[in-house]
Amino acid sequence: MNYFDIIIIIPLLWGAFKGFKKGLIIELASLIALFLGVWGAIKFSSVVGNYLDQTFTVSEKFLPLVSFAVTFILIVIAVYSLAKLLEKLIKAVALGFVNKLAGLAFGLLKVTLIVSIGLYIVDKLNHKFGFVEQQQLDDSLLYEPVKNVAPVVLPVLDELTEPDSLSLPV
């Protein structure tokens, strides 16, 4: 075990702890709220923009940004409220601890994927620029297994990070 393992394990433990603390329902809701919020704001911000324009005095310059933000926030609040309601229902049927354990697993997996994407990018950049000795990476217990999660879950990473597509300044 070396310092790479410590750098990797800290966010993984944090993700597991936060997942346990929030539970699966809230963890999933936060992810769903983010995606639905962005999608909904893209799709429906013009409707909200028309309403805001008719109801309030909003500068034409800021109207698209304000309508996007308002739509996003409303969707996130709606998803979070539904999640809290569902969480109360789960607690009522005595599945709170199961929710917490599932949240721990989901939080760990979510952060593992995020760290894996970061390590995958670091690995590609390291092959090009060589800022970390390969022996240090080979000595790490967690580097390879965690780094290899992202390409399995997101195969598009291989296409995005082909050597020809990395047009970074030298």
Q: What is the mean pLDDT of each run of 10 residues along the chain (170 residues)?
A: 91 95 92 90 91 88 90 95 91 86 94 92 86 88 92 71 49
Q: Give domain status of residue 71, yes or no.
A: yes
- What is the pLDDT, as a whole number, of residue 92? 83
In a domain, 165, yes or no: no
Any domain includes 167: no
In a domain, 169, yes or no: no
Residue 35's domain comprises: 3-160
For residue 168, what pLDDT is reported? 43
At 170 the pLDDT is 40
pTM for the full model?
Answer: 0.70
**What is each CA distance from 139 to 126, 134, 136, 142, 149, in whole angstroms?**
16, 9, 5, 9, 18
Could you give the count of Cα atoms lying within 13 Å of 53 in the half-sphere of its Cβ?
A: 15
> What pLDDT, on a 0 to 100 scale, did the predictor assign at position 169?
45
**Cβ pair 110, 27 in contact under 8 A:** yes
Which pLDDT does position 160 carry in this prediction? Answer: 58
Q: How many domains in the chain? A: 1
What pLDDT does 75 receive?
A: 95
Q: Which residues of 94-130 are buried (b: 16+ CB within 10 A; e: fewer)?
A: ebeeebbebbbebbbbbbbbebbbebbbbbbeeeeee
Q: Is residue 40 part of a domain?
A: yes
pLDDT, residue 151, reads 84
Residue 51 lies in a domain: yes
Burial letters 41-79, b for 16+ CB under 10 A, else e:
beebbeebbeebeeeeeeeeeebeebbbebbbeebbeeb
